[in-house]
């Protein structure tokens, strides 16, 4: 990937790689009998795996960090030396993992993870301050280029040698390194903030969703609060789609095997599908995507060029068998409601339709205050034709150029990434960053040149001839599961008023004010506000704290003065006290915030 290549060429990558060596040196100083393996830079830091005589403790981590700082306070050069396999074996004769790596490099050109390399690499070592490691680099010139105040050890984890559970379990030490202490502090703040914003934690605290082992892993149960958020998202999407000329359709949850054989999904996608159900001699699959059904809906009626473009949208639930180890809250689930649509258009209409989807992204970004995003243009790789991709090089090149031209003509910045296309065509994937800088893959805009002919999709063109339409698959709001997970973390659970499950909590000071509280509730409900009354026996301040913890936007306190004046005392969830406001004025204020989606 282009981003990874840029990272690997960066100074920060070399700093982190070098810090990993300094950490390995510190560990070997403390445990001379230890066996050391590999220590690569990773996103935001580095790690190193060790075979140690005992389990590491927090005290060990402090000692390792102290020794690292001592080394980093000096100016020790990182010196590279290329040598023969025999010379390397002599240096690492007491290090079995290094000997295994040397054998792989010598015999077949395998890297440290056991992957075959394109060509047989040189064998090299790096030495600094008396510590030697088998390594191809790159590194900084000396430890003086590593800011000791910007390096921190983070955690310990278990890891199998080369990722194989049949191999020895090692101890992995994670660390992070930055150019400045300010950058380190910002990263540590982001980690702490991410913990507070974790959608799995907040989803439970805010009663949004739940998982249950009897239902099954990766199959979320949406609680009433979560159902409200889904409904609001769907209403937003339907409104936007109506304005853009989409038509809503519905399709069943399962279908015959032959449909997915025809679409090509089974050969390419079988591992991500639930196993078939056999009924009356026929196999049925629950659907992992809506597209084959939509192709059938398009084909159900004849079409002229005057009908095109035809835009079909559906909020159908799909099911994909994600591996158990890859399930992650709402971000990786097995049951998902797609913000799905398929656009059938002529080649002449393609650019306008494709860019209209990109424009839709931009509108959503504005609504959800998404300031940072990247459009990733994913293309095919020639060597994957017939295996990973539909085998038609000419159509791949033509369609990719159509997407490239559309994006350039539209003035949209994008990065091009090879070998990440869908099996049926190129696509734009959208990476977004939350308010604290956490990255998410959210939306997709895919071109399908391959499947329409499989379904004999056609329209009559202006010359009276049959023509095959192009199909654009798009999901600007991803799945409701992933989108809601993102929004929970983006807003730290404090959703904008329009999407908050409960928009206002009325808090009576005493039971004497309950009747008035319910009168206010009726008024606000008529105005379209989702409102509840805190009618439990807790004290007023406790009720306010509870409402704040539930991230409710408005708290309306009512007592004698409010009853007499027909008002409420308005308090915001951030603690700001707005004072008394007539009920009708508050209703207008809330109604506007909801209508504006502000």
Three-class secondary structure of residue 317 per DSSP: strand
What's the pLDDT at 230?
Answer: 96
What's the pLDDT at 183?
Answer: 96
Cα(553)–Cα(549) distance, integer angstroms: 11
Three-class secondary structure of residue 179 per DSSP: coil
What's the pLDDT at 383?
Answer: 87
What's the pLDDT at 113?
Answer: 55
> Could you tell me which CATH number the domain at 497-596 has?
3.40.50.800
Each residue's pLDDT tens digit, 170-179: 999 999 999 9
Contact present, 126 and 162 (Cβ < 8 Å): no
Q: Residues of 170-179 as b/e, b for ≥16 C-beta within 10 angstroms?
A: bbbbbbbbbe
Give the residue-averaged pLDDT of 523-534: 97
Q: Kindly state the percentage of the chain with pLDDT values over 90.
A: 84
* pLDDT band for position 409 (cuts 50, 70, 90): very high
What's the pLDDT at 82?
Answer: 95
Domain ranges of the chain: 2-180, 205-251+288-490, 497-596
Each residue's pLDDT tens digit, 114-168: 566 666 778 999 999 999 999 988 999 999 999 999 999 999 999 999 888 899 9
pTM of the prediction? 0.85
Burial classification of residue 503, based on how many CB atoms lie within 10 Å of its CB (0-12 exposed, 13-18 middle, 19 or more buried): buried
Q: In the structure encoding, which two tokens stand for residue 506, read together?
A: 């009325």
On the question of pLDDT at 240 being above 60, the answer is yes
Residues in contact with 512: Cβ distance below 8 Å, sequence separation at least 6, in sequence order: none
Three-class secondary structure of residue 96 per DSSP: helix
On the question of pLDDT at 411 being above 80, the answer is yes
Beta strands in 20-90 (DSSP E): 35-36, 41-42, 45-51, 79-82
Mean pLDDT (the chain) is: 93
* pLDDT band for position 502 (cuts 50, 70, 90): very high
What's the pLDDT at 110?
Answer: 61
Contact present, 438 and 456 (Cβ < 8 Å): no
Is domain 205-251+288-490 annotated with CATH 3.40.50.1000?
no
Q: How many CA atoms lie within 13 A of 554 on its CB side?
A: 29
Each residue's pLDDT tens digit, 116-128: 666 677 899 999 9
Give the residue-averaged pLDDT of 558-582: 95
> Could you tell me which CATH number the domain at 2-180 has?
3.30.980.10
**Least-confidence region, from 228-242, 419-433, 454-468, 575-589:** 419-433
Distance of CA 307 to the CA centre of its chain: 37
What's the pLDDT at 121?
Answer: 78
Three-class secondary structure of residue 174 per DSSP: strand
What's the pLDDT at 66?
Answer: 96
On the question of pLDDT at 422 being above 90, the answer is no
* pLDDT band for position 3 (cuts 50, 70, 90): low
On the question of pLDDT at 2 being above 60, the answer is no
**Which DSSP letter does residue 115 get?**
P
Each residue's pLDDT tens digit, 363-394: 999 999 999 999 999 999 988 888 888 888 99
On the question of pLDDT at 561 being above 80, the answer is yes
Each residue's pLDDT tens digit, 33-64: 999 999 999 989 999 999 999 999 999 999 99
**Residue 26 forms beta bridges with which residues?**
none
What's the pLDDT at 316?
Answer: 85
Q: In the structure encoding, which two tokens stand for residue 527, read together?
A: 């105005």
**Which DSSP letter does residue 150 get?**
G
Residue 264 or residue 416, greater confidence: 416
Q: Do domains 2-180 and 497-596 have the same CATH topology?
A: no
* pLDDT band for position 5 (cuts 50, 70, 90): low
What's the pLDDT at 335?
Answer: 96
Each residue's pLDDT tens digit, 70-112: 999 999 999 999 999 999 999 999 999 999 999 988 876 666 5
């Amino acid at each position: 990937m282009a981003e990874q290549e840029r990272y690997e060429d960066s100074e920060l990558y070399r700093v982190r790689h070098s810090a990993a060596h300094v950490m390995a040196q510190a560990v070997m100083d403390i445990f001379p009998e230890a066996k050391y393996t590999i220590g690569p830079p990773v996103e935001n830091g580095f790690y190193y795996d060790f075979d140690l005589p005992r389990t590491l403790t927090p005290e060990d981590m402090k000692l390792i960090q102290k020794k690292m700082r001592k080394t980093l306070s000096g100016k020790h050069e990182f010196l590279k030396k290329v040598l023969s396999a025999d010379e390397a074996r002599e240096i690492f004769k007491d290090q079995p993992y290094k000997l295994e790596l040397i054998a792989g490099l010598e015999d077949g050109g395998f890297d440290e993870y056991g992957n075959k390399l394109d060509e047989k690499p040189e064998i090299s070592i790096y030495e600094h301050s008396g510590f030697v490691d088998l390594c191809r680099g790159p590194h900084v010139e000396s430890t003086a280029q590593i800011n000791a105040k910007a390096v921190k050890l983070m955690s310990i984890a278990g890891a199998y040698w080369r990722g194989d559970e049949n191999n020895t379990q090692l101890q992995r030490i994670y660390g992070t390194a930055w150019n400045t202490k300010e950058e380190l502090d910002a990263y540590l703040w982001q980690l702490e903030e991410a913990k507070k914003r974790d959608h799995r934690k907040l989803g439970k605290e805010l009663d949004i969703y739940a998982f249950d082992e009897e239902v099954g892993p990766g199959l979320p149960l949406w609680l009433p609060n979560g159902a409200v958020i889904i409904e609001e998202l769907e209403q937003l999407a339907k409104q936007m789609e109506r304005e853009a000329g989409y038509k809503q359709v519905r399709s069943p949850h399962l279908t015959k095997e032959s449909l997915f054989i025809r679409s090509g999904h089974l050969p390419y996608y079988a591992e991500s599908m639930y196993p078939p159900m056999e009924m009356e001699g026929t196999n049925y699959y629950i659907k992992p995507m809506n597209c084959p059904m939509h192709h059938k809906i398009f084909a159900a009626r004849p079409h002229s060029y005057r009908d095109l473009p035809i835009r079909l949208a559906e909020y159908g639930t799909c099911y994909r068998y994600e591996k158990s180890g890859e399930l992650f809250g709402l971000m990786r689930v097995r049951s998902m409601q797609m913000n799905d649509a398929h656009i059938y258009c002529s080649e002449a209409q393609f650019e306008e339709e494709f860019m209209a989807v990109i424009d839709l992204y931009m509108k959503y970004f504005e609504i959800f205050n998404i300031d940072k995003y990247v459009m990733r243009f994913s293309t095919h790789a020639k060597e994957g034709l017939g295996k990973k991709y539909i085998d038609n090089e000419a159509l791949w090149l033509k369609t990719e150029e159509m997407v490239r031209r559309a994006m350039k003509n539209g003035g949209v910045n994008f990065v091009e990434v090879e070998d990440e296309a869908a099996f049926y065509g190129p696509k734009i994937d959208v990476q977004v960053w939350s308010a604290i800088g956490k990255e998410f893959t959210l939306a997709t805009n895919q071109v399908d040149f391959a499947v329409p002919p499989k379904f004999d999709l056609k329209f009559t063109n202006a010359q009276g001839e049959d023509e095959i339409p192009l199909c654009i698959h798009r999901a600007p709001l991803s799945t409701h599961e992933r989108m809601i997970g993102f929004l929970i973390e983006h807003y730290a659970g404090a959703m904008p008023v329009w999407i908050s499950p409960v928009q206002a909590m009325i808090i009576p000071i005493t039971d004497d004010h309950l009747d008035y509280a319910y009168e206010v509730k009726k008024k606000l409900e008529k105005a379209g506000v989702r409102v509840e009354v805190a009618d439990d026996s807790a004290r007023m301040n406790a009720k306010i704290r509870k409402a704040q913890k539930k991230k409710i936007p408005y708290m309306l306190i009512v007592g004698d003065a409010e009853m007499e004046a027909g008002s409420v005392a308005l308090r915001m969830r951030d603690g700001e006290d707005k004072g008394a406001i007539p009920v009708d004025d508050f209703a207008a204020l809330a109604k506007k915030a909801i209508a504006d989606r502000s």
